Amino acid sequence: MKKKQYVLSAIALILCIALYIGGKTVPDKSAVTHAEGDGHDHSADGSQKIDFKAILAAAKENITPNQAQRLTALENSVTRGDVKEQQIHAFHEIARFWLDSARKFELYAYYTSEAAKLENSEKSLTFAARLFLDRLMMSGDPAMQTWLANNAKVLLENALKINPANDSSRIGLGSCYLFGNISSNPMEGINMIRQVVEKNPGNIYGQMMLALGGKKSGQYDKAIERFLLIVQKEPDNIEAIFHIAECYDLKGDKTNAIVYYEKAKELVKIPQAKEELNNRIMELKK
């Protein structure tokens, strides 16, 4: 990776933390990259897969004895629960444990999804799916991206059975295919999203996913067009503004990159992000 891409990745990560987590929960390093022995399993073709049991076991090694005792009691309450409502409650309690006590977002999302599958309401299914999708957009680890996408996919498919007309669920499902490495044909995901956007060009979520897909594939001009459509409707959409700047930067258009980095710097509230943006602007002015 070139030096410029390292810089852009650092800025992007800071902004993603601000955008998706709201500054309340700093994602652990597993959201971005993984080392051997942290839950990855190697398949016969040499590719990596996420082993949830290994992730859970590794996480349990890093909690206190009191926390372990509390967690064991919660896990036992799931198996003892003789009615669905008791199991749903137990899964929610385990999810909150991993979020509040242990700061393991993937485990929080997983147990929230287990509760959602039992509840089987559109609201609970789409909420849980969005947890996986938001982290998917932050992750730089292909194996983790696939794990996140597959989990979101199951939830969104169930949600669409309840309400086939939910455009957001359809866009989310397309995003699983587009960004989650779960299909050898990315057009499968793009077409799902395009169907919604062609029907409703003002769908910001759909335009954002298509723009990010264009950026991912190196089609920077097409991506910029879609990001600009978003900014026309939402002038303070810092995510779209930052991606416009990054697209211009990646294609070598320093002048326009500076313009949009400056716009992003005006809107971002996190001092570290402001500093990173300012550093990038100064680099481009040299």
CB 260 within 8 A of CB 244: yes
Can you give the pLDDT at residue 21? Answer: 37
Can you give the pLDDT at residue 15? Answer: 56
pLDDT tens per residue, range 143-163: 999 999 999 999 999 999 999
Given a cut of 50, is residue 37 above it in pLDDT?
Answer: no
Can you give the pLDDT at residue 38? Answer: 47
For range 5-28, the mean pLDDT: 45
Phi–psi pair at 48, nearest 5 degrees: -100, 145
Can you give the pLDDT at residue 78? Answer: 82
Closest CA relative to residue 168, chosen from 112, 207, 116: 207
CA–CA gap between residue 113 and residue 95 (Å, rounded): 9
Can you give the pLDDT at residue 50? Answer: 87
R_g of the chain, CA atoms, integer Å: 20
- B/e letters for 109-131, b = 16+ CB within 10 Å, e = fewer, are bbbbbbbbbebeebebbbbbbbb
Span of 163-167, 180-184, 252-256, 279-283 with lowest mean pLDDT: 180-184
Both tokens assigned to 125: 């299914």
Can you give the pLDDT at residue 32? Answer: 36
pLDDT tens per residue, range 89-98: 999 999 999 9
Can you give the pLDDT at residue 41? Answer: 52
Span of 10-24, 104-118, 183-197, 211-225 with lowest mean pLDDT: 10-24
Given a cut of 50, is residue 24 above it in pLDDT?
Answer: no
Report percent pLDDT > 90 for the chain.
68
Span of 14-28, 84-98, 116-130, 161-175 with lowest mean pLDDT: 14-28
pLDDT category at 12 given cuts 50, 70, 90 is low
For range 94-119, the mean pLDDT: 95
**186 vs 58 pLDDT, higher one:** 58
Report if pTM > 0.85: no
**45 vs 66 pLDDT, higher one:** 66
